[in-house]
Amino acid sequence: MGYESDKPWGGRFKEPLDKKAEAFGASIHFDRRLAQEDIKGSIAHCSMLVKKGILTSGEGEKIIEGLQEIKKEILDGKFIFDPSLEDIHMNIEKRLTEKIGPLGGKLHTGRSRNDQVALDMHLYVKKEAREIERSIILLQQVLLELAEKYLDIIFPGYTHLQRAQPILFSHHLMAYFWMLQRDRQRFVETYQRADMMPLGAGALSGTGFPIDREEVASSLDFGNLYENSMDAVSDRDFVLDFLYSSSLVMMHLSRLSEELVLWSTREFSFIELGDAFTTGSSMMPQKKNPDIPELARGKTGRVYGNLLALLVVLKGLPLAYNKDMQEDKEPLFDTVDTIKNVLSLFADMLRGMTLHKERIEESVKNDFSVATELADYLARRGIPFREAHAAVGHLVRRALESKKLLGDFSEQELNQAHPLLALPEARALASPYKAVEAKKCRGGTAPEMVREQLRRAKEILQKGSIS
């Protein structure tokens, strides 16, 4: 056309873009991931332009046909992405004009890349939030299965990583179920927050064309639309919501990872992870390394980093669109990949884990974690709890000094610590099974309460996904 620049925006430029600047600004190598959302949005926009008489129906048909063909080319891997066309939006538009001629240029009527990219990101975040909610459910199902399978296993409960009180292993597992339940809810909220349609904001101020934003919103299944065009193109809160929700999932799985790593050490020997999810050492033939939980723990840092990266990018940006905002994509995509991988790996890995029941039982028995039960007993018999605590504490010290367990003391020795402790009913309490059974309050670890917990959890899962 006689212009010196070959860009879609090249009209006012005399010189072509510097090659290094072009490569620096290009996002096609990562935003091609938004291709399907971009086409979906363009079809909705085009249909609305036809409805409003801004394009003729003949024009609309040709444009939509062209877009459908491009969609197929991309799905078939035949589309050639050109970095000199910067991003996915211009790659698709260029291909459209190759296919249907200058008419392709009419698609962008009443639209800017600023509201276009915002729309793509909303569609993408909504889709992924939904998928992730489903992956979380699958992991919850595995935890529930395991909790049912191991309902009779008593396990040492820790605080400060010191044995504290016996619990049911199921109870421990179910703690993660409820964390994931909150994670699910967070993704549902993430979905709802992303459910806002930005198109029509134009570059920043709206558009003078008589468009119908409600029409576009409803055809793309959006529940709401932005009330302010400046906000519509500047907002990336919904991406941050997604990154934060993901960070919490990773934090939960990282805590579980740490436990799996610990439990599978020779020192603990509580569990063994399946061969399919562990690796050996190239030098030490005996090694079986818990790479997957270790790496999940490590990747938590990367997911946090993605959240922080975008927070920092957005900090201090003036309204409305700034090119900085292109930096929202890689952290998002990286987080999506990481969290989906980790969620699905964990579901399979946990299913294949074995428990060393004897070793767990031994560690619960050879222990003082029933001490609280004895102190509670004294307190129930009217002894001030502090006094009870001190009496049992002394007994523990004596036991440690004489290499005994609390159950090994004679009646006389117990009598010395506190006369009430020598009573048969008190001595019967010095059992981890009794300690667990006693925790009958709602949310406690008594078997009947854990069964109740499992029932509630099952009910929740039966309701299916929320988003």
We find the least distance from the C-beta atom of residue 9 to ligand ARG, in angstroms, to be 8
Query: Phi first, then psi: what are they for 99, rounded to 5°?
Result: -80, -45
> Is 113 among the residues that bind ligand ARG (CB under 6 A)?
yes
Q: Which residues of 54-78 are buried (b: 16+ CB within 10 A; e: fewer)?
A: bbeeebbebbbebbeebbeebeeee
Q: Does residue 91 touch ligand ARG according to CB under 6 A?
A: no
CB of 437 to ligand ARG, least distance (A): 59
Structure tokens at 396: 């523990």
Dist CA 300 CA 279 (whole Å): 20
C-alpha 245/C-alpha 242 separation (Å) is 5
Q: CA 288 to CA 29: how far, in whole Å?
A: 38
Residue 378 lies near ligand ARG (rule: CB under 6 A): no
Residue 111 within binding range of ligand ARG, rule CB under 6 A = no
According to the binding rule CB under 6 A, does residue 335 interact with ligand ARG?
no
To the nearest 5 percent, what fractions of the chain are helix, strand and coil? 65, 5, 30
Rounded to a whole number of angstroms, the minimum distance from the CB of residue 250 to ligand ARG is 25
Please tell me the count of residues contacting ligand ARG according to CB under 6 A.
Answer: 10
Select the residue interacting with ligand ARG from 100, 136, 325, 420 (CB under 6 A). Answer: 325
User: Residue 326 interacts with ligand ARG (CB under 6 A)?
Assistant: yes
| Residue 27 contacts ligand ARG per CB under 6 A | yes
- Tokens encoding 140: 């919850």
User: Residue 265 to residues 222, 258, 289, 300, 360: CA-CA distances in angstroms?
Assistant: 50, 11, 9, 22, 13
Distance in angstroms (rounded) separating the CA atoms of residues 349 and 292: 8
Instruction: Reply yes or no on whether 247 is catalytic.
Output: no
117 near ligand ARG, judged by CB under 6 A: yes
Instruction: Between 257 and 335, name the residue whose CB sits nearer to ligand ARG.
Output: 335
87 lies in the binding site for ligand ARG (CB under 6 A):
yes
Q: Are 141 and 217 in contact (CB under 8 A)?
A: no
DSSP 116-130: HHHHHHHHHHHHHHH
The DSSP 8-state label assigned to residue 242 in this structure reads: H
Q: By CB under 6 A, which span of 14-22, 268-276, 317-325, 391-399 interacts with ligand ARG?
A: 317-325
Contacts of 56 (CB under 8 A, 6+ apart): 50
Q: Which is nearer to ligand ARG, 113 or 439 (CB)?
A: 113
Residue (242 or 321) nearer to ligand ARG, CB: 321
Distance CA 227, CA 232 (A): 8
User: Which residues from 31-70 bind ligand ARG, rule CB under 6 A?
Assistant: 31
- C-beta of 31 vs 373, nearer to ligand ARG: 31
User: Which of residues 26 and 48 has its CB atom nearest to ligand ARG in the complex?
Assistant: 26
The CA angle 223-32-78, to the nearest 5 degrees, is: 120
Under the binding rule (CB under 6 A), the answer on residue 12 touching ligand ARG is: no
**163: which strand partners?**
158
Cβ proximity to ligand ARG, 121 vs 392, nearer residue: 121
- Toward ligand ARG, which CB reaches closer, 332 or 371? 332
Map the footprint of ligand ARG across residues 164-223, applying CB under 6 A: none
Binding mask 336-355 for ligand ARG (x = CB under 6 A): --------------------
Tell me which residue of 420, 354, 357, 411 sits closest to 387, measured CA to CA. Answer: 420
Catalytic residue of the set 57, 205, 281, 344: 281
Q: Which residue has the tokens 């619960």?
A: 364
Q: How far is CA 309 from CA 6, 20, 222, 306, in A?
A: 33, 24, 28, 5
- Interface residue with ligand ARG, options 78, 160, 323, 442 (CB under 6 A): 323
160 is catalytic: yes
Q: What residues line the site for ligand ARG (CB under 6 A)?
A: 27, 31, 87, 113-114, 117, 321, 323, 325-326
- Residues annotated as catalytic are 160, 281
